[in-house]
Amino acid sequence: MTPRTRPRTGTGTRTRSRTRDADAMAVTAFVLGLVGLLVMNLLLGPVAVVLGTLALYRRTTRPGRARLAIALGITDVLVLVCLVTADGTWSWSLT
Question: For 38-70, what is each residue's pLDDT tens digit?
Answer: 888 889 999 999 999 999 999 889 899 999 999
Q: Note the pLDDT of residue 27.
A: 93
Q: Note the pLDDT of residue 86.
A: 82
CA distance 10 to 14: 6
Which H or E run includes 30?
helix 11-36
Q: Note the pLDDT of residue 91.
A: 63
Q: How far is CA 10 from the centre of its chain?
A: 27
Give the closest residue to 57 by CA, choosing from 74, 70, 72: 70
Average pLDDT score over the chain: 83
Q: How far is CA 33 from the centre of its chain?
A: 8
Q: Note the pLDDT of residue 46.
A: 94
Is the Cβ–Cβ distance between 62 and 27 less than 8 Å? yes
